[in-house]
Structure 1
Amino acid sequence: MKLTKIHAREILDSRGNPTVEVEMTLNGVTARGISPSGASTGQKEAVELRDGDPKRYNGKGVEKAVNGINIEVRKSLVGLSFDNQDDFDKHLIALDGTENKSRLGANAMLAASIAYARTSSVANNIPLYRQLVDKENYVMPVPCMNVINGGRHSDNNIDFQEFMIAPHNAPSFKESLRMGEEVFHSLRSLLKSKGYYTGVGDEGGFAPNLNSNEEAVQIIMEAIVQAGLTPGRDVSLCLDPATSEMWKDGKYEFYKSSKETINTDEMIIFWQEWLNSYPIILLEDGLGENDWQGWEKLTRILGDKVELVGDDIFCTNPKIIQQGISQKIANSVLIKLNQIGTVSETLMAVELAQSNGYNCFISHRSGETEDTTIADLVVATGAGHIKTGSGCRSERVAKFNQLLRIEEELGAQATFAGINTFYKKL
């Protein structure tokens, strides 16, 4: 694949903040890639390059990142031929020359990396998922839909960031999505009937002020029943409390509700009690990214009862994932392309996790775009579950719509993951 043209531009994400889009031409074929952005971020994530100019977008402009592509990357890489995705990404990484991609910016590098993958798939006349991983049969994921938003993703009084539903008892992705949407609309009706606000947060989930964090779980359970489904059998719960945001002076602070502070052991007991009370099959970031000893204990106690997903603690970084595997931390890894900054390193992280018996949970970011790459990524890797927001907002449902197209295209070559996705088998 010979690179003949590359051009970056500053565009907007779902929050109205700038992000980077890269347009690339390989062998006469052109396609684009766009980088998302997160609000709740791990400390070891690859670094976004922002301008810091308060006169433009409150300092969040990305003209520096754009210029890096349009000047330096263009000068260095245009005219070269690349063997594959890994070859292109290695050239990009070498050009940046930093451990955390801070010079060119992970936002610029990821947009270029995605653009290469997408352009290659068009040039080869194959779907993106097959360009990423070519195999005979593929697995369609369970859509883990974030129906109530809290934490840094909303202005309400809920400490925990994501309350998700997993509609797993279905014959296909299409039917699973239908079930999830019906629960989502039942939840809207319930919230309205109780006098709660039904506006949505950053990821399309409802963002009401509730009496407690636990009320969010209880009202979702009620919505599942109202939709004619059975909690635990048809639809189960997944949580991402984003506890790194709660970590303060070695303890966890319920910073939006009660202002109560508890230690690691008490937080583990808290999760044990919730797991015993509700059909929770996945717990992401149950402890903070700096609480490694706590994670070891959490995994010993709950690792055979629930899928324990590490997000902030791993940051999709193969080196850190390997450390977690060695220390027997978690049993699943959250996969976010922009945490590591290239497509090939993302695939490397997935391969490392899966080869060591860990699940992979493919994820969007709270600052999303119309780019649907993660829909193809979850199918390519067979990860079996994806979170890309709730049942509304076009940047969220764009991924669901792409998965509907993929399932239709694959036909008999696709199987739905269902409950077999999850570490805990019901």
Structure 2
Amino acid sequence: MGRFSIHRVWARQVLDSRGNPTLEAEVVLEEGTRSRAMVPSGASTGVNEALELRDGNKARYGGKEVGKAVQNVQKRIAPCLQGQNALDQQEIDRLLRELDGTENKSNLGANAMLGVSLAVARVAAAALGIPLYRYLGGTGSALLPVPFANVLNGGAHSDAPLDFQEFMIVPRGAPTFSEAIRFGAETFHALRVLLRERNLGTGLGDEGGFAPNLSSADEALELLCTAVERAGYTPGKEIFFAMDPAASEFFDQSSEAYVFRKSDQRRMPAVHLVEYYKELCGRFPLISIEDGAAENDWEGWRLLTRELGASVQLVGDDVFVTNPEFLRKGIAQGVANSILIKPNQIGTLSETLETVDLAKRSGYGVMLSHRSGETEDPFLAHLAVACNAGQIKTGSFARSDRIAKYNELLRIEEDLGKNGRYGHW
């Protein structure tokens, strides 16, 4: 067997940023190089996502243990991959899909498959002695992404009476990635002071953003404008805004209406919700809306895209779930103009890259994204640069599971030197 042959594969149960079990896979090559990768977990998940396999025993970790997925790595995946060439990522991932044999990875579990898939890529890069972003993307990977930092949390990510899930600051006007991080962090700290002055909560949600007692998107965006100005910047010049309503979370399928259950109980058909978005975009420098319609409301998505697609980035997350099949459907129906990429939604690195390639060839924007249940693993930072995505969504400027990705991007920026560019999509 060659020096890049896989010698051993195994997994262990570790904890994610919410204190829930998740899977970490480890791979060792014949020549001794070893690497590992951890798998994140979402709270607001699309119905068509690949299956995250959990044990279901309520007496242990509330049923969230991943012992079955760990055993699938040890007993089923490991024998299949032993002796395989770690440099052949496509073949590794093909073998994983063949071994699983299901559309949604429900046999082995997407968490088992993705952990191994990512660990194989990382060990291959380490064995070659090159950075992971370079191994994944080649010599043309030099675009550092604009951070979309979730600084106000609502929806399923906090207890705040705010129906929309995320409000983000986007330092698109910064000259470099490191300056974008400074602009963002200074605004985050200014926002903390502002919330304290107004006797609003400064507790943090899952992704490191504040979860104050706000009741509307208008109030949240007005707060962000003030915080940006307090930090010494101009809204719409250095710093822009984005939001993720996560509309599937408040869509009532039976009446085909959007119900603001956490705040004032308003009910809106899609046409009125789109008008509300248009009003917000007219009042604030709002340049990106993610999941502005529910995953099953394709007519709502088409309406949203017709009305705002020419002027605002419309990012599909739940509606596409990083799956080329759903993305093709969206392209054919004129739905969205950008896609959120979450590797654990699809289950292997190769399928993730296939979806990215399809999006780019179709003129769709690409944004790499974390999950609300994250880990300290910075793989996502390398993947964002490898894909030349130009955009990354990886949380606020708090909590080390989020900061780990920003810090890794700062290292990559240093490594790229004068060859690095800051992403302006």
* TM-score, normalized by the shorter chain, greater than 0.5: yes
Does the aligned pair in 2 maintain the 1:137–1:413 contact within 8 Å?
no
Deviations 1:89-137 (A, max 9, x none): 1111111111100110001111111100110110111101011110245
Does the aligned pair in 1 maintain the 2:80–2:95 contact within 8 Å?
no
Give the share of equivalent positions with the same residue, in percent.
51
Instruction: Give 1:39's aligned residue.
Output: 43
1:390 pairs, out of 367, 377, 396, with 396
Check if 1:77 corresponds to 2:81.
Answer: yes
- The CA distance in 1 between the partners of 2:261 and 2:141, in whole Å, is 46
Q: Which amino acid aligns with 2:172?
A: H
Deviations 1:293-314 (A, max 9, x none): 1111111111101000000000
Q: How many residues align?
A: 419
Check if 1:156 corresponds to 2:181.
Answer: no
Instruction: Give 1:379's aligned residue.
Output: 385
Does the aligned pair in 2 maintain the 1:66–1:108 contact within 8 Å?
yes
Q: Report the 3-state secondary structure (helix = DSSP H, G, I; strand = E; otherwise coil) of the residue aligned with 2:294.
A: coil
Q: Which amino acid aligns with 1:26?
A: L
1:26 pairs, out of 25, 29, 36, with 29
Check if 1:185 corresponds to 2:184.
Answer: no
- Structure 1 83/229 Cα, relative in aligned 2: closer, same or farther at 3 Å? closer
2:407 pairs, out of 384, 398, 401, with 401
Q: Which amino acid aligns with 1:414?
A: G
Does the aligned pair in 1 maintain the 2:339–2:359 contact within 8 Å?
yes
Check if 1:319 corresponds to 2:325.
Answer: yes
Does the aligned pair in 1 maintain the 2:86–2:121 contact within 8 Å?
no
- Structure 1 399/82 Cα, relative in aligned 2: closer, same or farther at 3 Å? closer
Check if 1:348 corresponds to 2:341.
Answer: no
Q: Which amino acid aligns with 2:10?
A: H
- Structure 1 413/198 Cα, relative in aligned 2: closer, same or farther at 3 Å? same
Q: Which 5+ residue runs of structure 1 have no aligned equivalent?
A: 422-426
Instruction: Give 2:131's aligned residue.
Output: 127
Q: Report the 3-state secondary structure (helix = DSSP H, G, I; strand = E; otherwise coil) of the residue aligned with 1:158.
A: coil
Q: Which amino acid aligns with 1:333?
A: I
2:234 pairs, out of 230, 253, 277, with 230
Does the aligned pair in 2 maintain the 1:136–1:413 contact within 8 Å?
no
Q: Report the 3-state secondary structure (helix = DSSP H, G, I; strand = E; otherwise coil) of the residue aligned with 1:21.
A: strand
Moved over 2 A (4+): 79-83
1:139 pairs, out of 136, 143, 151, with 143
- The CA distance in 1 between the partners of 2:69 and 2:358, in whole Å, is 30
- The CA distance in 1 between the partners of 2:313 and 2:99, in whole Å, is 38
1:368 pairs, out of 374, 388, 395, with 374
Greater shift after overlay, 207-216 or 17-26? 207-216
Instruction: Give 1:424's aligned residue.
Output: none
- The CA distance in 2 between the partners of 1:82 and 1:180, in whole Å, is 38
- The CA distance in 2 between the partners of 1:319 and 1:416, in whole Å, is 31
Q: Which amino acid aligns with 2:274?
A: I
Q: Which amino acid aligns with 2:115?
A: A
Instruction: Give 1:267's aligned residue.
Output: 273
Task: Give the CA deviation at 1:413.
Answer: 1.2
Deviations 1:14-46 (A, max 9, x none): 000000000101242100011100000001000
Task: Give the CA deviation at 1:206.
Answer: 0.2
Q: Report the 3-state secondary structure (helix = DSSP H, G, I; strand = E; otherwise coil) of the residue aligned with 2:102.
A: coil
Deviations 1:228-262 (A, max 9, x none): 00000110001001000011121101110011111
Does the aligned pair in 1 maintain the 2:86–2:120 contact within 8 Å?
no
Check if 1:330 corresponds to 2:336.
Answer: yes
Does the aligned pair in 1 maintain the 2:141–2:388 contact within 8 Å?
no
* RMSD, matched Cα: 0.9
Q: Report the 3-state secondary structure (helix = DSSP H, G, I; strand = E; otherwise coil) of the residue aligned with 2:143.
A: strand
2:65 pairs, out of 61, 72, 77, with 61
Task: Give the CA deviation at 1:75.
Answer: 2.1
1:14 pairs, out of 9, 14, 17, with 17
**TM-score w.r.t. structure 2 length?**
0.97
1:201 pairs, out of 205, 214, 220, with 205
Deviations 1:314-345 (A, max 9, x none): 00001110111111110000000100011111
Instruction: Give 1:292's aligned residue.
Output: 298
- Structure 1 82/181 Cα, relative in aligned 2: closer, same or farther at 3 Å? closer
Deviations 1:258-304 (A, max 9, x none): 11111111111111111111100000001000000111111111110
- The CA distance in 1 between the partners of 2:398 and 2:345, in whole Å, is 25
- The CA distance in 2 between the partners of 1:236 and 1:408, in whole Å, is 25
Does the aligned pair in 2 maintain the 1:161–1:240 contact within 8 Å?
yes
- Structure 1 19/137 Cα, relative in aligned 2: closer, same or farther at 3 Å? closer
Q: Report the 3-state secondary structure (helix = DSSP H, G, I; strand = E; otherwise coil) of the residue aligned with 1:378.
A: helix
